């Protein structure tokens, strides 16, 4: 735990580097002291079909941080603020449209979460 899902719009390419963003975001999660490195599972999903507003050009980055329930709001807020800062550091001035950067922390029910590890 946790699961980190980064969604990014395709119009941010080629300037936006999703792998770099995931590394910076994982660094934020590890620096919090809340997680063990091997437990963090991160992935990036490129959105080819998207719309920001109705006709205004723009793109976005959005992170969903799925956490086992039990953390307080202050901790979750600090995590999402850190994720926004990490994503922002990956948006270069060469990107020619506005980019909205957001993050949310979502609780997963600890009693119904299941996990298995296969292999060594």
16-43: per-residue pLDDT in tens? 999 999 999 999 999 999 999 999 999 9
114 within some domain:
no
85-110 tens-digit pLDDT: 999 999 988 777 889 999 999 999 98
Domain, as residue range, for 7? 3-108
* Domain-located, residue 118: no
Residue 56 pLDDT class (50, 70, 90 cuts): low
Cβ atoms of residues 70 and 36 within 8 Å? no
Instruction: Let me know if residue 60 belongs to a domain.
Output: yes
Asked if residue 117 is part of any domain, the answer here is: no
Domain-located, residue 119: no
- Domains contained in the chain, number: 1
Q: Is residue 95 part of a domain?
A: yes
Q: How large is the average pLDDT for residues 73-81?
A: 97
The pTM score is: 0.91
Q: Residue 36: which CATH number?
A: 3.30.429.10
CA angle 19, 24, 28 (to 5 degrees): 145
In a domain, 120, yes or no: no
- State the chain's mean pLDDT as an integer: 93
Helix then strand count (H, E) for the chain reads: 2, 4
């Amino acid at each position: 735990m946790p699961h980190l899902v980064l969604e990014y719009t395709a119009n941010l390419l080629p300037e936006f580097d999703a792998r770099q963003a995931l590394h910076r975001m994982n660094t934020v999660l590890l620096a919090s002291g809340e997680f063990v490195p091997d437990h963090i599972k991160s992935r990036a999903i490129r959105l080819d079909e998207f719309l920001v507003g109705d006709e205004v050009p723009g793109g976005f980055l959005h992170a969903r941080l799925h956490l086992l329930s039990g953390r307080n709001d202050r901790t979750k807020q600090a995590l999402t603020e850190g994720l926004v800062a990490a994503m922002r550091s990956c948006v270069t001035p060469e990107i020619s449209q506005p980019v909205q950067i957001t993050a949310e922390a979502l609780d997963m029910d600890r009693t119904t979460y299941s996990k298995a590890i296969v292999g060594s």
